[in-house]
Structure 1
Amino acid sequence: MKKDEVPQDGDNLHRGTFKQLFYAVDASGNYTAPVSSVGWEPENVALGQAWEEVEHRVAATRDKVESGALSPIAYYMERTLLDLPLLARKVGKFQWQVKRHMKPAVFKTLSAGMIAKYATVFAIPADTLQKGTLLPFQRPE
């Protein structure tokens, strides 16, 4: 891509905090120093759709927690963009154990130490998790 063709779509999802580097060629066809870009439309559309899907999944899980079908661990797993294998690894448990902890009846019996491990992974206070308080989801900046 030529240096003057590097996309500079100002309507990007990074809100000016993130720039990408592209290798571009000058008028004579030689590679120049990397050229920064603030984004381009196809990338912005794809990222927007991905975030909409994440927000939908978080909202659906929140509804299940509020209805009593799942424990707050399920909500915070979705909220922090973790999956079951990664969460299990981070808290030092098997996947089946974490899945079991997502049952409200089992969640109520978890030790303070186990709650603290989950809270550390989710970057929230342990008492917030213990009480079942569901903090709102916000896209990372």
Structure 2
Amino acid sequence: MEVKKVPQDQSSTYANNSKAVYATSESGEYSVVTSSGWEAEELVTKQALNEFERQACAAYELVKKGQKSPLYYHMYAQRMDLMVLAQSVGWFQWRVKRHMNPGVFAKLSANKLNQYSEALGISVEQLVTLPKLNLEEVKHEQ
């Protein structure tokens, strides 16, 4: 992309920040140029965030019903999926998926809970509980 054509669409997902992108100058050399956003990128980012919200709401309901452990909800609430969470804690996906079973999760060691809480950026106390949410409000915000 040419320097003159780097999008400057004031994307709300950038939160008044800018992003460095590579573009070619008139002489054909690559240089770093700042961009305030691109409308197409903003649309896709918002769609992805809405999908994580939807998944978190669905996970919340499953945890409330006792079908999944709180880990399942917190994974989506922190905008992760099974693969990302497994990579973050350094375990195989099948093992992390097993920990989403409420009975298995209840027996996890303090060390494993600490690893999850660190990967998710929340405390162990938050990890083992389900926050009180009004899902109707969350759904209307989307």
Alpha-carbon shift at residue 4 of structure 1 (Å): 3.2
> Does the aligned pair in 1 maintain the 2:18–2:34 contact within 8 Å?
no
Partner of 2:57: 59
Relative to structure 1, the CA distance from residue 8 to residue 106 in structure 2 (aligned partners, 3 Å threshold; closer, same or farther) is: same
Equivalences for residues 21-36 of structure 1 within 5 A: 21-26=21-26, 30-31=28-29, 33-36=31-34
Relative to structure 1, the CA distance from residue 33 to residue 105 in structure 2 (aligned partners, 3 Å threshold; closer, same or farther) is: closer
Among all aligned residue pairs of Structure 1 and Structure 2, give the percentage whose two residues are the same amino acid: 35
Residue among 126, 131, 142 paired with 1:134: 131
Within 1, Cα distance between the matches of 2:28 and 2:115?
53
More helix by share: 2
Partner of 2:79: 81
Aligned length: 133
> Normalising by the residue count of structure 2, what TM-score does the alignment of the two structures yield?
0.74
Partner of 2:14: 14
Partner of 2:116: 118
Partner of 1:44: 42
Relative to structure 1, the CA distance from residue 30 to residue 72 in structure 2 (aligned partners, 3 Å threshold; closer, same or farther) is: same
Relative to structure 1, the CA distance from residue 106 to residue 79 in structure 2 (aligned partners, 3 Å threshold; closer, same or farther) is: same
Q: Could you list the runs of 5+ residues in structure 2 that have no partner in the other structure? A: 134-142
Relative to structure 1, the CA distance from residue 7 to residue 135 in structure 2 (aligned partners, 3 Å threshold; closer, same or farther) is: farther
> Does the aligned pair in 1 maintain the 2:22–2:30 contact within 8 Å?
no
Relative to structure 1, the CA distance from residue 105 to residue 45 in structure 2 (aligned partners, 3 Å threshold; closer, same or farther) is: same
Report SS of the residue matched to 2:73. Answer: helix
Larger Rg belongs to: 1
Within 2, Cα distance between the matches of 1:15 and 1:118?
29
CA RMSD, Structure 1 to Structure 2 (Å): 2.6
More strand by share: 2
Within 2, Cα distance between the matches of 1:65 and 1:24?
50
Report SS of the residue matched to 1:23. Answer: strand
